[in-house]
């Protein structure tokens, strides 16, 4: 298995632009998680899905953030409009039955 695949690896965008981050979980995994990592706050859970259904989005910072999982093999995290304080590394992770996540390599987002 290729593992959890995220794209792009790096994204630099101007403030106000829309940003879309993509994730392909490991085949057969039924949970998918979006995390944000910063020096100040560490790893923060943004949202997670079980069987493509959003279960807990209480970590999503504000309405500018949205996430979808249209099928078992794809999820997106969208920020619209982006702001400099959104700069961080965004990780996607997946697991089966909530047991020991596998993380992707992350997307480093810089908003200037």
Partner 1 sequence: GQQLNQSPQSMFIQEGEDVSMNCTSSSIFNTWLWYKQDPGEGPVLLIALYKAGELTSNGRLTAQFGITRKDSFLNISASIPSDVGIYFCAGQLRGSQGNLIFGKGTKLSVKP
C-alpha 29/C-alpha 6 separation (Å) is 15
Phi first, then psi, for residue 103 (nearest 5°) are -95, 150
Residue 42 near partner 1 by CB under 8 A: yes
Q: Which residue has the tokens 């400099």?
A: 84
Strands 88-95 and 31-38, how do they pair? antiparallel
30 phi-psi bin (left φ>0, alpha ψ -120 to 50, beta other): alpha
Residue 61 near partner 1 by CB under 8 A: no
Tell which one of 45, 54, 64, 72 touches partner 1 (CB under 8 A).
45
Binding region for partner 1 (CB under 8 A) out of 18-26, 60-68, 71-79, 95-103:
95-103
Tell which one of 19, 26, 48, 109 touches partner 1 (CB under 8 A).
48
Residues of this chain that interact with partner 1 (CB under 8 A) are: 4, 31, 33, 42-43, 45, 48, 50, 55-56, 91, 93, 95, 97-106
């Amino acid at each position: 298995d290729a593992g959890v695949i995220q794209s792009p690896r790096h994204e630099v965008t101007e403030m106000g632009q829309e940003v879309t981050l993509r994730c392909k979980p490991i085949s057969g995994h039924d949970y998918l998680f979006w995390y944000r990592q910063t020096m100040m706050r560490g790893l923060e859970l943004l949202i997670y899905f079980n069987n493509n259904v959003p279960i807990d989005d209480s970590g999503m910072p504000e309405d500018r953030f949205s996430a979808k999982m249209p099928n078992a093999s794809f999820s997106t995290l969208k920020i619209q409009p982006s702001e400099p304080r959104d700069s961080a590394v965004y990780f996607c992770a997946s697991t089966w039955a909530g047991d020991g996540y596998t993380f992707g390599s992350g997307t480093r987002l810089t908003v200037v």
